[in-house]
Structure 1
Amino acid sequence: MTLGKEGSNILSENTQKIFQQYTQLSTDEKLALLYFIYENMGDSITPAAPNAADLNLTSSVIEVIFNLSEDEQLEIMRDIVNCKDTEYSRAYGGLTPNNQLLVWYAWAQAMGDTVVDLPDDYKATEAISNVLSQIKKLEFEEQISVLREIASNMGYTEVKRVSSQAEVGITPSL
């Protein structure tokens, strides 16, 4: 597998294909897709394994954006999507995938209130609509798998992903 920054945890060929289509989107299309995912599927898409996410670890990343201007919020989100080496992107990149999902979930919940919203006249591109419709067709676990892959391939980190036993055929030794 060659998807993402350091590999993929997505198992099915179908979800890999959807993630690959996501990677072809522009930065703003990626942000819009996240917005539409939470707006259209918010009742079924939760922070994903809420017991595995830690609000204490994510609160500083989540809350820092609330008191910034919409332009500053958008810049931080774009930096995270683009994996830029910035203070906020590093803070996000240092979180686990479940905690990263919790960040986007919290920001999505606050969109239009304390977090920048899509313009009222915004129309999703064909590419966004295509990826969104494919995600909607997936089973819940596959949806979470794709979202986790999206979230974990954002932010900046110098920590390299450890290959899984399935990928290398051996267990890491101490």
Structure 2
Amino acid sequence: MTASYNKTAPQALNKETQNAVEAFNALDTDAKLAWLYFVYEKLGDSITPAAPAAAEPELAPLLLGDYLKLSDDEQLNIMRDIVNRKDTEYSRAYGALKENNQLLVWYAWAIAMGDTVVDIPENYKPTEAINNLLSQIEGLEFEQQISVLRAIAAELGYSEVKPIETQAQTGKTPSL
């Protein structure tokens, strides 16, 4: 099962970081979830200070509170819905957050895995594509890693809010 959303990479990303976002988008749903887990497992010490310090956890009570009381199957289905941008209560709650708060949700879930959040199966073996993408992101500078994670986080979840068209798209200049 793959997410059908294919947003073009933000202009702020360079080619190397765009490639990482594209590689993530090419993964199937469960591979994306596994990759997010492995990223936080491998890079959590460097990512951790960036996201929570700039985030506001009180804006995500459904995702950081109510979610933790659900069964493993319910939690996994919610994660899949968010990755697949399905129109659900939890996916909308996620989609309404800014990128730093979205990263905080994944961080909180990653550190709670196996405790209050469904864990990755013990016998799970990452695919070559997951390992390649992990190596790719490990080779990036810290700021690039955060840019990739923000771009990925922003593409997940459901929102009816559409980006404002650029001048290049509309052919019109902004007016006051």
Shift in Å, 1:170: 8.0
**3-state SS of the aligned residue for 1:5?**
coil
CA apart distance, 1:5: 3.1
SS of 2:16's partner is helix
- The alpha-carbon deviation at position 61 of structure 1 amounts to 1.7
| Off by >6 Å, runs of 4+ in structure 1 | 164-171
Q: CA distance change for structure 1 residues 137 and 59 in 2, over 3 Å: closer, same or farther?
A: same
Greater mean alpha carbon deviation, residues 135-144 or residues 9-18: 9-18
TM-score of the aligned structures, taking structure 2 as reference length:
0.88
* SS state at 1:42 partner: helix
Contact 1:61 1:88 (C-alpha < 8 Å) held by counterparts: yes
1:18 Cα deviation after fit:
1.0
Are 1:88 and 2:93 an aligned pair?
A: no
- Deviation of 1:165 after TM superposition, in Å, equals 7.7
Runs of 5+ consecutive residues of structure 1 not aligned to the other structure: none
Does 1:55 pair with 2:62?
Answer: no
SS in 2 for 1:44: helix
Q: Equivalent residues in 2 for 1:20-39 (5 A)?
A: 20-39=22-41
Cα distance in 2 between the residues matched to 1:155 and 1:57 = 15
Distance 1:4-1:51 versus aligned 2 partners, 3 A rule: farther
- CA deviations 1:75-115 (Å, max 9, x no partner) are 00000000000011011101111111111111111011100
Q: Name the structure 2 match of 1:130.
A: 132
Identify unmatched segments of 5+ residues in structure 2: none
Using a 3 Å threshold, how does the CA distance of structure 1 residues 57 and 136 change in structure 2: closer, same or farther?
same
Separation in 1 of the partners of 2:101 and 2:173?
Answer: 26
Identity %: 62
Displacement after TM superposition at 1:9 (Å): 4.7
Structure 2: distance between partners of 1:167 and 1:135: 31
Letter in 2 for 1:160: K
- Is 1:79 the counterpart of 2:81 in the alignment? yes
Moved more, 98-107 or 44-53: 44-53
Whole-angstrom CA distance in 1 between matches of 2:96 and 2:133: 27
Count of equivalent residues: 172
Structure 1 residues 126 and 91: CA distance shift in structure 2, 3 A? same
State how 1:81-160 maps to structure 2 within 5 Å: 81-160=83-162
Question: Alignment RMSD, CA only?
Answer: 2.3
Question: In 1, Cα distance between the equivalents of 2:86 and 2:116?
Answer: 24
